Structure 1
């Protein structure tokens, strides 16, 4: 049984969480083993030779100048939260809107504004978020190579002291810190029911709970989530690997922060199947729900041991291993069924 940690009443209280393991990665085989294990890991010495990291260590003006030299004039995605929200990127009061606004703006002017706001009291929080560097600054990819993830385009996150509420990704995530310190509070995927996640029609889905001041009277199950949580504290030059679906609450700990991340390996197929399951199973009577629960446990998640050996392999159909052709045939069958029922 996991021993509950002291619930956070201030940011420093999260430091009592168990720490994510640190490792050095020397080659693609090492990295593949980390990905296959499905656990968060802080990866060290992965991008030591990047010019962007050298610029980030020297400070905001140097890193900003580096990006200005690479700029090809495309507008960049900018998010801004008023000063009253103290850097929190979260839901607004009605859960249909957020505490921040989104817009497109020139890179140079945005960098100027971010740098000008450093150290200013009662200033808004401005950040460049999810900028596709392979599209906006292709020279960045050439000069700051990530050979472990060939063909995966990096994205830039740069700005003030942003605090992003707990959310997750459908892709694996490798987050490489260029400037400023970052804190990730990580929750395993199975904690979804304890995180009080917001509405599905307002992406991204965020937890309603503030880990730095959780309201347990309102969110009592959160005590189980924080008991299962882990902590990753990253310095410039360190990267965090987060397997897909791990929930993470991210805090930029310094007035100026920059990070590059890579997303890969995700698929819409599981989410589509989940939505289909909601439609097909949720309103069934109890006996039928029990039947389909057992079918999924036995044949989808293989939780009942060997349930197929009595059927010859050629006759196992979709219950058996999928060949590429069998997978394609089943997709075709499901598309035809969807069209028929619509």
Structure 2
């Protein structure tokens, strides 16, 4: 059974948008994925890709500053799925360094192969590696108060296994088509996440093969499919994905380019919760169940509950870490934690 067969719902869509009318606040408040049809249809890169693969590659070459790039390469046997070996101890692809023009040449030379090797340039910062490209290929998120650098993803028919990002994400399908399959955060229990490290792309991924799911081995994946949402993005379309939504992304053409921007809804002095997750695994997971449940109450009170409640009965000068965290308090907390962890 194919994971997509009759099992997914469409993702909500908005049409007729332009960069200057992108409703960022409404998207964040909604907290659900939304396809933004045609929002980047006037990008020069999109227009070049609609002419031909070669035109899109030539457009990228004109902006390439020639600096080496890091990319993933996999033998034809991985079938475009950067993943693990059979026992999850190693990755099934190589990380290589080269120049972008060489990667483009190799993709082009195998464009007609039935099962080509895999090439994947992932999360390349546009401003530092393709200077000038943003001038005619940008969503103008800075005008919405989002000061975050966009990244570009270049490859052939690559599947990014289902994963989540800690930040909000707007991804533009610039060249080729991509299929997105999304799951809400609570489906982590049904998606069978792989190792925390190593990972194919920096974040843990579902170990289920969406093209041939093994329901005997991963039976809860059926429950995830029941709430899955899917959309195919055409060139010039974009998708908004709220933080922590799981997404499985399949590039569908012989050459594909995606441009994305991640950003956080919290101030820069608030660190990633992944640090807290590792610390909690170390400090809490293996305690007796009674203690774990008691600590759950403590965390609900101090962390997951009303942020003002825990310190409301104390005078402001006595609240310490219970006060609203600003840049000064963030530095104090960091110094305190480092001192305690280094003892």
Coarse TM-score class (shorter-chain normalised):
0.7 to 0.9
Alignment TM-score, normalising by the size of structure 2: 0.87
**Equivalent position of 1:264 in the other structure:** 263
**Equivalent position of 1:213 in the other structure:** 212
Alignment TM-score, normalising by the size of structure 1: 0.87
**Equivalent position of 2:233 in the other structure:** 234
**Equivalent position of 1:193 in the other structure:** 189
Cα distance in structure 2, aligned partners of 1:196 and 1:84: 23
Cα distance in structure 2, aligned partners of 1:28 and 1:308: 40
Cα distance in structure 1, aligned partners of 2:205 and 2:257: 22
Alignment size in residue pairs = 331
Once the two structures are TM-superposed, the CA of residue 29 in structure 1 deviates from its matched residue by 6.8
Once the two structures are TM-superposed, the CA of residue 219 in structure 1 deviates from its matched residue by 1.0
Cα distance in structure 1, aligned partners of 2:67 and 2:328: 42
Residue segments in structure 1 that go unaligned for 5+ positions in a row: 1-8
Does 2:117 match 1:118? no
Cα distance in structure 1, aligned partners of 2:83 and 2:48: 30
Cα distance in structure 2, aligned partners of 1:35 and 1:87: 32
Cα distance in structure 2, aligned partners of 1:107 and 1:289: 50
Note the alpha carbon deviations across 1:130-170, whole angstroms, 9 max, x for none: 22221111111223233114542222222221122112222
Does 2:165 match 1:169? yes
**Equivalent position of 1:33 in the other structure:** 26
**Equivalent position of 1:65 in the other structure:** 58
Does 2:11 match 1:20? yes
The answer as to whether partners of 1:195 and 1:222 remain within 8 angstroms in 2 is yes
Cα distance in structure 1, aligned partners of 2:165 and 2:84: 18
Does 2:293 match 1:290? yes
Cα distance in structure 2, aligned partners of 1:212 and 1:303: 42
Does 2:336 match 1:333? yes
Once the two structures are TM-superposed, the CA of residue 250 in structure 1 deviates from its matched residue by 1.0
Once the two structures are TM-superposed, the CA of residue 331 in structure 1 deviates from its matched residue by 3.0
Cα distance in structure 2, aligned partners of 1:309 and 1:105: 57
Once the two structures are TM-superposed, the CA of residue 310 in structure 1 deviates from its matched residue by 4.5
Does 2:44 match 1:90? no
Once the two structures are TM-superposed, the CA of residue 313 in structure 1 deviates from its matched residue by 5.1
Residue segments in structure 2 that go unaligned for 5+ positions in a row: none
Look up the SS of the partner of 1:213 in the other structure. Answer: coil
The worse-fitting range, judged by mean Cα deviation, of 282-291 and 86-95 is 282-291
The worse-fitting range, judged by mean Cα deviation, of 290-299 and 279-288 is 279-288
Cα distance in structure 2, aligned partners of 1:269 and 1:138: 29
Look up the SS of the partner of 2:132 in the other structure. Answer: helix
Note the alpha carbon deviations across 1:298-323, whole angstroms, 9 max, x for none: 22111799566544555444335334
The answer as to whether partners of 2:43 and 2:236 remain within 8 angstroms in 1 is no
The worse-fitting range, judged by mean Cα deviation, of 322-331 and 252-261 is 322-331
Note the alpha carbon deviations across 1:157-216, whole angstroms, 9 max, x for none: 222211221122222221111121111111222222221111112023221101222111
The answer as to whether partners of 2:41 and 2:235 remain within 8 angstroms in 1 is no
Once the two structures are TM-superposed, the CA of residue 261 in structure 1 deviates from its matched residue by 1.4
**Alignment RMSD (CA, Å):** 2.5
**Equivalent position of 1:10 in the other structure:** 2
Once the two structures are TM-superposed, the CA of residue 72 in structure 1 deviates from its matched residue by 1.7
**Equivalent position of 1:6 in the other structure:** none
The answer as to whether partners of 2:193 and 2:207 remain within 8 angstroms in 1 is yes
Residues 190, 337 of structure 1: alpha-carbon distance in 2 compared, 3 angstrom cutoff:
same
